[in-house]
Amino acid sequence: MFKNFLKIGNKKLKSRLIVGTGKYKSLSETAKAVKISGADMVTVAVRRVNIIDRKKPMLTDYLNPKKIIYLPNTAGCFNSQEALRTLRLAREMGGWKLVKLEVLGDKKTLYPNMIETIKSTKTLVKEGFKVMVYCTDDPILAKKLEDLGAIAIMPLASPIGSGLGIQNKTNISLIIKQSKVPVIIDAGIGTASDATIAMELGCDGVLINSAIANAKKPLLMAKAFKDAVISGRNSFLAGRMKKKYLASPSSPTKGII
């Protein structure tokens, strides 16, 4: 209905919903969920090819990288060295320069290690990567990443896969206000309304994986998220009414019989 593109680097996305491709029952379910979600961009991981069973299907057989934007991610990396290695391999694989950096600090919380994240961002920017960065919801660190050249800031709503939704709306709002690059909520969204809330706060997009893949009916949840993100964005653009402490009747008081 509205001109509503999400611009990340030189990519123009029609959908503000980015989806992960992990945790699904099968690659065919992954592909169906991605299609229903309407996402133009998907996150993918870099792993060893299975050399023993060469008949195992590959992700690229189900999701055509020419039709959908692959966003290589460093999920599972716990230091800068591992993350850089992963993304350099991703770049070699098909010229991917647009990447998502995620350096984890702790196995229990999968909370970002911001010291290693900052270090990696510096190196990647220097090497010509366009880096979208998973980070804590700390406005000072978010600003630091932007200053270093991150092309999108991706603060967590809550820990990866927790489904707890946005835990610190104030911090997310502060990050949105100060950022000149897109702010995309990454991690912790549990259900469609969480995504709407993120978009109403003014986020430029949301990245969802577990909330769709782990739903009882993933394909229906993919549709729910598609709608939730559109609704949240429209609601943000429309500008909500002011909150008041007392009631205000919806029908005219003049002419009451």
Partner 1 sequence: MAKLQLNGKKISIKSNISIFDLLVKYKLTNKKIAVEHNGKIIPKTNYKKKKLKNNDKIEIVHFIGGG
| Active-site residue set | 100
- Provide the b/e sequence for 68-107 (b: ≥16 CB within 10 Å): bbbbbbbbebbbbebbbebbbebbeeeebbbbbbbbbbee
The string over 111-134, giving b where at least 16 C-beta atoms fall within 10 Å of a residue's C-beta and e elsewhere, is: ebbbebbbbbbebbbeeebbbbbb
121 neighbors 149 (Cβ within 8 angstroms)? yes
Q: Identify the residue among 8, 68, 90, 156 touching partner 1 (CB under 8 A).
A: 90
Q: Least distance to partner 1 from the beta carbon of 22, Å? A: 4
**Which residue from 59, 69, 125, 219 is in contact with partner 1, where contact means CB under 8 A?**
59
Bridge partners of 155, per DSSP, are 135
20 in contact with partner 1 (CB under 8 A): yes
* Binding to partner 1, residues 172-201 (CB under 8 A): 187
Which tokens sit at 141?
């660190």
Q: Is 118 in the site for partner 1 (CB under 8 A)?
A: no
Q: Cβ 1 to partner 1, closest distance in Å?
A: 30
Q: Which stretch binds partner 1 (CB under 8 A): 52-60, 138-146, 164-172, 231-239?
A: 52-60
Contact at 8 Å (CB) between 219 and 33?
yes
Answer for which of 1, 2, 51, 53 binds partner 1 (CB under 8 A) is 51
Report d(CA 221, CA 102) in Å as an integer: 25
Q: Does 75 bind partner 1 (CB under 8 A)?
A: yes
Nearer to partner 1, 160 or 224 (CB): 160
Return d(Cα 133, Cα 144) in angstroms, integer.
11
Binding positions for partner 1, rule: CB under 8 A: 20-24, 27, 30, 43-49, 51-52, 54, 58-60, 65, 70, 72-73, 75, 88-90, 92-94, 160-161, 187, 207, 209-210
